[in-house]
A = this chain, B = another copy of it.
Amino acid sequence: MSNNHILVIEDDLQISQFLQSSLKANGYHTLCAHTIAEGKRLLSANKPALLILDLNLPDGDGRELISYVRLNSDIPILVLSARQAEQEKVDCFNDGADDYLAKPFGVNELLARVKVALKRTAMMSLRDDVYHVGELTIDTINSTVLLNEQPVHLTPIEFKLLFILVTKPGKVFTHRQLLTDVWGAEYVDDTHYLRIHMGRLRARLEKTPATPRYILTEAGIGYRLTAT
């Protein structure tokens, strides 16, 4: 799932190193990119928990990256910029940034804002360990599923899919979200895999897979679990 690294995208080597050492000194694991392209790669490969993004990068506008990330992730984005212009701040927030820090900034403020952002995602994903939906019991710690008290065996991919769905019962997860979360961003178009594996999941969980009670499909959009 989501790693607990912080990805820093910053082309100024000095600042980059400074940020990394400060973050490391405070117990965070860091990843580092110097271009947008490199950042995208690390994002999908490592699924960091937070993104610190300098706007001014050699191979494009950082704002483009914000929108790109927001296509399939809710990861907090903290924007750094040399510019003070209010409009730029507003634009970034509209694109989906979570915070904006203008240079020069103090490390301690940065660290405090990082901490707040991470605390928030921790709060959000304060998931229960065991979910109950109908006759289903899903234990996310032991990765086990019970149907009518009977254990059901799921393959890793099947469990990942069910796990995503069960974190927010009733919420529709788009094909895009599911594919990027389970397979990776480069599989966004392979809805076929989704169909096949959802089918296999249904075969295990539903008495009548043709008329599913738990895993509902939203045609043209994605899938969701029945709300309790």
Partner-B contacts on A (CB < 8 A): 74, 86-87, 89-90, 93-94, 97-99, 106, 108-109, 111-113, 115-116, 120, 123-124, 126, 141-144, 156, 168, 170-172, 218-221, 224
Contacts and interface: CB of A to CB of B under 8 A. Distances in A.
Contact of A142 (B94, B126, B172): B172
A50 B221 CA distance: 32
Shortest Cβ-Cβ A-B pairs, 10 listed: A93-B112, A86-B106, A90-B112, A156-B220, A142-B172, A90-B108, A89-B109, A86-B109, A124-B124, A93-B116
Copies in the complex: 2
A10 to B, nearest CB: 20
A171 B142 contact: yes
A127 B218 CA distance: 18
B124 A108 contact: no
A141 B9 CA distance: 30
Contacts of A89: 106, 108-109, 112
B115 A93 contact: yes
B90 A109 contact: yes
Contacts of A220: 156
A56 to B, nearest CB: 19
B123 A74 contact: yes
